[in-house]
Amino acid sequence: MTESPIRLSEQLRLFREAHPPRHLDAAGANWEYLSAGQGGRAVVLLPGGGGAGEDMFTLMAGLETDFRVLAIGCPLAITRTQDVMDGLAAILDHEGVAQACLLGQSLGGAFAECFMLRYPERTASLVLANIAHFGKLRAAFIRGVLPLIPRLPRWLARRRMRSTFNRLLKGHPEKEFWVSFLSAEIEQVGPVGMSNRLRCLRDAMDGFPASRADLLGWNGPVLLLESDNETGFTKRERLALRRLYPNAEVHVFQGAGHLSFITQPREFEAAVRRFLNR
């Protein structure tokens, strides 16, 4: 049974009451993150777009019954992937987590890969959702376009993002809630924050592992979560990611797009649980 947008709003309210944000100064920025659950197995959630930790609140609420879960957002002042890695490591130290499964969606997946390359001993496993590595031509195009995006008038950028969310969530019964939720977050980020996150994306693209040799011997378990109607990455790019992790488990969501953790929340959580429990 699918929850109505009103019911989901109530879930978010209760979630916020039970999960007050924590703060930590690290890597030249103030980090806000959420912590829940307990036990020896830790999962770190890294939302897409460098968003807030609560973006994945439905997943966190489901996993916290059996796992220690940290949901980490990206500070607006951060512009370098290196600072993201340092900040994540500092939070893990502060929370007493020696090793964790990193679950990243979209840009969060890029951060998860970069963290694995820098801190392989702290990365127990990877869950990479709706992420791949851009081909050379697309990467060059994106690098050229990124500096132009923050120059768009704020009203135009706001309209463009809302249109994107409406397209990605078309036909979804909870579309109104999520479009409002995500649009409010983008509005809070503002032009400077969006510009900085785009700089993080460009920096992360330069840090992607290009071959098995780049993994430096790390051979932990990997789960790739893909969507059959993915719009963020081409089929060729997704296949290239599979070749990079030839032993990875692959789960493909049918009838899903780039925001699979929103459109297929139960299937998403179930796939992650099966992977973690194995």
Q: Which of 124, 45, 130 is nearest to 88 (CA)?
A: 45
Q: How far apart are alpha carbons 194 and 115 in whole angstroms?
A: 22
Q: Which of 93, 98, 42, 99 is nearest to 71 (CA)?
A: 42
pTM: 0.92
Model pLDDT for residues 111-121, shown as the tens digit of each residue = 999 999 999 99
Model pLDDT for residues 57-111, shown as the tens digit of each residue = 999 999 999 999 999 998 988 888 999 999 999 999 999 999 999 999 998 999 9
- Return the percentage of the chain with pLDDT > 70, whole number: 97
User: Is the pLDDT confidence value at 5 over 70?
Assistant: no
Catalogue all structural domains in the chain, each as residue range(s) with its CATH number.
5-277 (3.40.50.1820)
**What H or E segment, with its residue span, contains residue 225?**
strand 222-227
Q: What are phi and psi of 130, to 5 degrees?
A: 50, 50
* Lookup: tokens for 158: 């706001």
| DSSP classification of residue 190 | H
Q: Which residue has the higher pLDDT, 189 or 66?
A: 66
Q: How far apart are alpha carbons 76 and 189 in whole angstroms?
A: 7
Q: Which of 88, 135, 86, 137 is nearest to 108 (CA)?
A: 88
pLDDT of the residue at 249: 97
Sign for the pseudo-dihedral over CA of 55, 58, 59, 62: positive
pLDDT, mean of residues 252-258 = 94
Asked whether the beta carbons of 97 and 124 are under 8 A apart, the reply is no
Q: What is the average pLDDT value for the chain, to the nearest integer?
A: 89
Model pLDDT for residues 152-179, shown as the tens digit of each residue = 777 777 788 888 888 888 888 889 999 9
Alpha carbon dihedral 126, 86, 191, 160, in 10-degree steps, equals -10
Asked whether the beta carbons of 70 and 35 are under 8 A apart, the reply is yes
pLDDT of the residue at 50: 60
- State CA 172 to chain mean position distance: 20
Burial 119-143, CB ≥16 within 10 A → b, else e = beebbbbbbbbbbbbbeeeebeeee
